[in-house]
C-alpha cells in the first residue's frame, strides 16, 4: 500500500510538471516546485495513518496489556460515536447522544487517571458503549434509505427509546466506578465535621457576604476549601472532547503551516488537510498569484494557531476514512 501511494505521488509530480509547463508561463524551476508540492500533497493525503494509543500508567504484566487493550477499545468506540454524530439528522437524538458522550468522556478521563478501575468498567466498555456504537451505525444506515414507511419509522423510534434508556446506564456505570472514592470522601468528611464540632465551630453553611470578624483579613485566592462540595465531576478542561496525541497534532500543524507558506499557491496545504476541492481550486488559479498570498497567510495562521483549535477545525478531516 505504501509503495503504491509513493508511485502515485511520483506519477502525479511528473504529470503535473508536464501540465504546468504546457499551460503556464512560469520558469521550469517554479513549475518543478509546484509539481513536487502537488506530489507531496497527494502522498500525505493518501498515506495511511498509524493508530495512536494513549499509554496508561501500568506495568508490563499480561493483565496490564489487557487493560490497555480494553481502554483502547473504549476510546475507539467513543471516537466512532463522535464521528457518527454528523450523520444523525434527528436533532433531538443528536443532542441526546452528545449528552451521553459527555458522560462517556468523563468515564474515559477517570479511567485514564485510575486505570486499575478498568476492570470494573468492563460492562460499560464491552456492552453499553459498544451497543450504542452499533445502534447508531444501524440507525444512520436506516436514515440514509430515506424511507418513510411504518416499519422503518417504528424501528427508528424504538432505537431512539433504547438509546434514551442506555443513557441512564451510562450514569449508573460511572457512579459505580467512583463509589469507593465517594465512600472515602464521606468518611473523611464525617471525621472533619466531628473535629470541627469538637473545636466548638459550626459546620452549617454560613452567609458568605458576612465579613470575617478576625483581624486577619488575607485569604488565599482559588482556595478549594472556599468552594462548596458538589457532585463529583471529572472534567479535563484543557483537552478537546476527542482524545488526541498532542505531539502528532503539533507535527501536522507545523507541516500544514510549512506547506501553506512555501507551496500554498499550489494548494499543497489544502491537499494535506484533506480539503481536496480547495486544493484543486488553488492549483487551477495559481497563475493569478492570489493563491500564493492566501496560502502564505493561512500557513502563518496554522503555525500560530492553538493545538486544540487546529485539532477541532482540521484534524477530523485528516482522519476520516
Quote the pLDDT of residue 293.
82
Quote the pLDDT of residue 59.
55
DSSP 43-111: HHHHSPPPPP-PPPS--SSHHHHHHHHHHHHHHHHHHHHHHHGGG---HHHHHHHHHHHHHHHHHHHHH
Share of the chain above pLDDT 70, in %: 74
Is the pLDDT assigned to residue 51 strictly greater than 80? no
Is the pLDDT assigned to residue 157 strictly greater than 80? yes
Give the chain's count of helices (H) and strands (E): 14, 0
Quote the pLDDT of residue 100.
93
Mean pLDDT confidence for 169-185: 87
Write out the three cell numbers for 47.
498515506
Write out the three cell numbers for 150.
411504518
Alpha-carbon distances of 121 from 81, 99, 180, 301, rounded to whole Å = 18, 19, 14, 42
8 Å CB contact between 260 and 295? yes
Q: What is the chain's mean pLDDT, rounded?
A: 77
Strand blocks (E) in 127-181: none
Quote the pLDDT of residue 224.
40
Does 249 or 144 have the greater pLDDT score? 144
What is the crossing angle of helices 130-145 and 62-84, to 10°? 30
Is the pLDDT assigned to residue 150 strictly greater than 80? yes
Quote the pLDDT of residue 49.
54
- Residues with Cβ within 8 Å of 135's Cβ and at least 6 positions away in sequence, in order, are 159, 162, 163
Quote the pLDDT of residue 316.
52
Q: What is the pLDDT of residues 218-267, one digit of tens each?
A: 444 444 444 443 333 333 333 344 455 566 778 888 888 888 888 888 88
Choice among 86-90, 95-99, 281-285 with the minimum mean pLDDT: 281-285
Look up residue 55 and give its DSSP letter. P
Cell 495559481 found at: 286
How many Cβ atoms are within 10 Å of 258's Cβ, its own excluded? 17
Alpha-carbon distances of 164 from 105, 124, 144, 174, 316, rounded to whole Å = 17, 15, 21, 16, 27
Per this entry, what is the length of the chain? 321
For the chain, domains (ranges, CATH) are 2-48+244-319 (no CATH), 62-180 (1.20.5)
CA distance 299 to 256: 7
Amino acid at each position: 500500500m505504501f509503495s503504491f501511494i509513493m508511485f502515485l505521488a511520483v506519477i502525479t509530480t511528473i504529470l503535473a510538471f508536464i501540465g504546468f509547463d504546457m499551460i503556464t508561463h512560469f520558469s521550469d524551476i517554479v513549475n518543478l516546485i509546484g509539481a513536487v508540492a502537488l506530489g507531496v500533497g497527494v502522498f500525505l493525503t493518501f498515506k495511511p495513518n498509524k493508530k495512536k494509543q494513549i499509554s496508561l500508567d501500568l506495568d508490563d504484566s499480561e493483565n496490564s496489556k489487557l487493560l490497555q487493550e480494553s481502554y483502547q477499545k473504549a476510546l475507539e468506540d467513543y471516537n466512532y460515536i463522535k464521528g457518527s454524530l454528523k450523520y444523525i439528522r434527528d436533532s433531538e437524538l443528536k443532542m441526546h447522544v452528545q449528552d451521553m458522550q459527555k458522560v462517556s468522556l468523563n468515564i474515559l478521563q477517570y479511567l485514564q487517571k485510575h486505570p486499575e478501575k478498568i476492570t470494573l468498567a468492563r460492562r460499560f466498555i464491552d456492552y453499553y458503549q459498544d451497543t450504542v456504537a452499533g445502534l447508531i451505525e444501524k440507525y444512520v444506515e436506516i436514515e440514509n434509505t430515506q424511507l418513510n414507511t411504518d416499519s422503518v419509522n417504528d424501528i427508528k423510534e424504538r432505537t431512539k427509546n433504547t438509546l434514551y434508556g442506555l443513557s441512564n446506564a451510562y450514569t449508573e456505570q460511572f457512579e459505580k466506578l467512583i463509589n469507593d472514592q465517594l465512600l472515602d470522601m464521606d468518611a473523611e468528611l464525617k471525621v472533619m465535621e466531628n473535629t470541627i464540632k469538637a473545636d466548638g465551630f459550626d459546620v452549617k453553611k454560613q452567609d458568605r457576604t458576612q465579613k470575617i470578624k478576625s483581624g486577619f483579613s488575607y485569604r488565599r485566592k482559588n482556595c478549594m476549601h472556599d468552594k462548596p462540595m458538589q457532585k463529583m465531576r471529572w472534567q479535563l478542561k484543557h483537552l478537546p472532547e476527542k482524545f488526541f496525541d498532542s505531539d502528532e497534532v503539533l507535527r501536522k500543524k507545523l507541516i500544514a503551516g510549512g506547506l501553506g507558506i512555501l507551496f500554498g499557491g499550489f494548494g499543497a496545504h489544502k491537499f494535506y488537510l484533506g480539503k481536496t476541492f480547495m486544493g484543486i481550486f488553488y492549483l487551477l488559479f495559481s497563475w493569478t498569484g492570489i493563491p500564493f498570498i492566501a496560502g502564505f497567510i493561512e500557513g502563518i495562521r496554522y503555525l500560530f494557531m492553538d493545538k486544540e483549535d487546529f485539532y477541532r477545525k482540521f484534524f477530523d478531516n485528516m482522519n476520516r476514512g
